[in-house]
Amino acid sequence: MRRAAETDVASILRVLRSNQDDKSLFQQPEHQVRKTLADFFVTTGEDGAVTGCAALHWHSRGNAEILAVAVSPELQGQGVGSRLMSECIAQAVRTNSDVQLWLATAKPQYFARFGFHPVSRFRLPAGVLWTKFRLVFQQPTGRWIPAIAGRHTFMVHRRG
């Protein structure tokens, strides 16, 4: 596992697109991945190819989001996603032990394994919610209404 590099952009997009049937995973356009590349961690196989990705995005000094957690379909169920989640959580806590670490997902049972619990989306700052709302419209049109209507559960990480 390592921080993503400029040369990983195409591979991150490939991993995200290989999971495009997963309606809980927001797809990100290339310009967004490039803009937030410093947020990404990647896992690689023995051949050096990117096998998974996750982003830890800081909305402010005290508010961080984990997003874009994706693993190549042929490697799912082998712990790659767990390693990515553990690294994002550890990095967030190392950076600020009082961070409000959160995510939005349609798979709350998966993320509960990492200490996340559901909360009202309105516990997040309005600016963060507005940013997420705008990202909905970068998704395929068929995903707009379900995303706005509440398909995703907002979850916050429990400390200690």
Report how far apart, in Å, the C-alpha atoms of 113 and of each of 85, 86, 108 are. 10, 11, 9
Residue 23 — pLDDT band, cuts 50, 70, 90?
A: confident
Residue 22 — pLDDT band, cuts 50, 70, 90?
A: confident
pLDDT of residue 27: 81
Residue 146 — pLDDT band, cuts 50, 70, 90?
A: low
Q: CA-based diameter of the chain, in Å?
A: 44
Answer whether residue 151 shows pLDDT above 60.
yes
User: Which residues span the domain enclosing 11?
Assistant: 2-157
Burial of 113-135, coded b for 16+ CB within 10 Å and e otherwise, reads ebebeeeeeeebeeebeeebeee
Question: How confident is the model over 67-92, as pLDDT tens digits?
Answer: 999 999 999 999 999 999 999 999 99
Task: Output the pTM of the full model.
Answer: 0.85
- The CATH number of the domain holding residue 101 is 3.40.630.30
Token pair, residue 26, equals: 């927001």
The total number of structural domains in the chain stands at 1
Average pLDDT in the 111-120 region?
Answer: 94
Residue 125 sits at φ, ψ, to 5 deg, of -60, 145
